[in-house]
């Protein structure tokens, strides 16, 4: 059973960079067909997909955030990370790391979630 755990600062100043790390346990981040995603949820609002990275490092980002977002993977630590540059108050949200799996004929979306990391953007 996969377990995901987000970590990182809970408070970021406007115009600075938000950085979060997700540690994966119970499985290898380098498993073939594994994808690792970030989703966020502003307080009291709905879910927004941020982007994804494959086990081999290929990325795809939400165009609404593409200019700000970088997702990277560190297979030696079984972690993947999110950086969001030039943040504003609108980036205040609960940030979740989630898993996606694929095999030759199917995709399985978001079957495992972290508990979420609340990041507040404020001076």
Partner 1 sequence: DVVMTQSPLSLPVTLGQPASISCRSSQSLVYSDGNTYLNWFQQRPGQSPRRLIYKVSKRDSGVPDRFSGSGSGTDFTLEISRVEAEDVGVYYCMQGTQWPYTFGQGTKLEIK
CB 13 to partner 1: min, Å: 27
Among 67, 76, 90, 105, binds partner 1 (CB under 8 A): 105
Q: How many CB atoms lie within 10 A of CB 116?
A: 15
Q: The tokens of 45 are what?
A: 């609002």
Which residues within the stretch 36-95 sit at the binding site for partner 1 (CB under 8 A)?
A: 37, 46-49, 60-64
Q: Does 16 bind partner 1 (CB under 8 A)?
A: no
Residue 115 near partner 1 by CB under 8 A: yes
β-strand pairing of 18-25 with 34-41: unpaired
Instruction: Decide whether 56 or 75 has the Cβ nearer to partner 1.
Output: 56
Strand partners for 21: 7, 81
Residue with tokens 């949820």: 41
């Amino acid at each position: 059973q996969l377990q995901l755990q987000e970590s990182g600062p809970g408070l970021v100043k406007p115009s600075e960079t938000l950085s979060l790390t997700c540690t994966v346990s119970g499985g290898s981040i380098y498993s073939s067909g594994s994808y690792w995603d970030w989703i966020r949820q502003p307080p009291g609002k709905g879910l927004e997909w941020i982007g994804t990275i494959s086990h081999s490092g290929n990325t795809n980002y939400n165009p609404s955030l593409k200019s700000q977002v970088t997702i990277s993977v560190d297979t030696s630590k079984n972690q993947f990370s999110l950086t969001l540059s030039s943040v504003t108050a609108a980036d205040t949200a609960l940030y979740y790391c989630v898993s996606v799996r694929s095999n030759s004929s199917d995709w399985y979306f978001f079957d495992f979630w972290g508990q979420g990391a609340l990041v507040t953007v404020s001076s």
